[in-house]
Chain A
């Protein structure tokens, strides 16, 4: 009998910087995660509608919508309440104006400052919340 390979976890990465996005995708692929990339909030909502990811990694600085608005919109749908979110932002949490309480309300599991988060840190963060 053929061995069944376990299904890969799907990560949705919302990252407007294409070069950075490619780097993250490679690192996550090396850790056996399948990663979909979307550049903005609207495309991300459509992507989630097509395939519900196991984890969402998002920048807060997005074109048109901001990341917080995206998170509120995401949580406004009852069926997407339980998708864990990692914020990976160029804005540190202290400067983002987001309190721990607000982060918790939005289902943010980890708030990571982009410039202090290595690729291996990111894969560890994702693995830890799956």
Chain B
């Protein structure tokens, strides 16, 4: 039987029968998998430690004939253990797992894995504010779904001018110039950076956390609408 070795982040677990568990795991090269971890709920199971949440695990599995494969072995390689030292970060980390699970099909792009991994790693390292990580993560999900907000032009295709105030037109998914708008050009710049830069490059940007705090309601809304 063909065995595949890869690594992955566990997104969800479901108890099955007496001692088994079905895990949902996202991988960089095999998409999202559902795997039966047999006997894993027994106290002496060797696999139990390798299917923990908030961690990256090396796994070996046999693909299933239908959709559920069989987990043969697992080993924890990275545990994002510092996340749980802070309540807000813990909550966001579990939201990242849930949103990644909700946003992905079985044959998903590796970018979903990369996005979840980068966000969990940033939460663990604690060099960026929680709000900046959440904004970046939501924007990446919107981008992967093809629903990212247009941070460059108005609905009519004109460049967004600096020194102006803007409001967001949800139907056009773009910003429009408006004197009473709540967004300034610094928000637009922040959005562009969040859309196009990896998380590790955002650590030194001044006021990013403050701008992200103001952008978050909009991005949460866009994400909720999209799902």
Question: Do B90 and A76 touch across chains, with their CB atoms under 8 A apart?
Answer: no
User: Looking at chain A's contact residues, is the secondary structure mostly helix, strand, loop, or mixed?
Assistant: helix
With an 8 A cutoff between CB atoms, is A79 at the interface?
yes
Q: CA–CA, A77 to B53, complex, Å? A: 11
Tally inter-chain residue pairs, CB-CB below 8 A: 38
Q: Mark B61-101, 1 if CB is under 8 A from A, else 0.
A: 00000000000000000000000110110110010010000
In the A-B complex, list the 7 residue pairs whose CB atoms are closest, starting with the nearest.
Answer: A72-B94, A69-B84, A97-B87, A68-B87, A68-B90, A69-B90, A66-B84
For B90, give its contact among A46, A72, A78 (CB under 8 Å). A72
Question: Do B88 and A97 touch across chains, with their CB atoms under 8 A apart?
Answer: yes
Q: CA–CA, A77 to B12, complex, Å? A: 7
Give 13 pairs: A residue, B residue, CB < 8 Å, sorted on A: A46-B43, A49-B41, A66-B87, A66-B90, A68-B90, A76-B12, A76-B53, A76-B97, A77-B13, A77-B14, A79-B14, A79-B15, A97-B88
With an 8 A cutoff between CB atoms, is A7 at the interface?
no
Q: CA–CA, A68 to B84, complex, Å? A: 8
For A, the interface residue count at a CB cutoff of 8 angstroms equals: 17
Q: CA–CA, A69 to B84, complex, Å? A: 6
Q: CA–CA, A68 to B13, complex, Å? A: 18
Q: Mark B43-58, 1 if CB is under 8 A from A, else 0.
A: 1000000000100000
Question: Do B87 and A49 touch across chains, with their CB atoms under 8 A apart?
Answer: no
A-contacting residues, B3-17, CB 8 Å: 12-15
CB contact under 8 A between A98 and B87, given known A73-B53, A76-B53 = yes
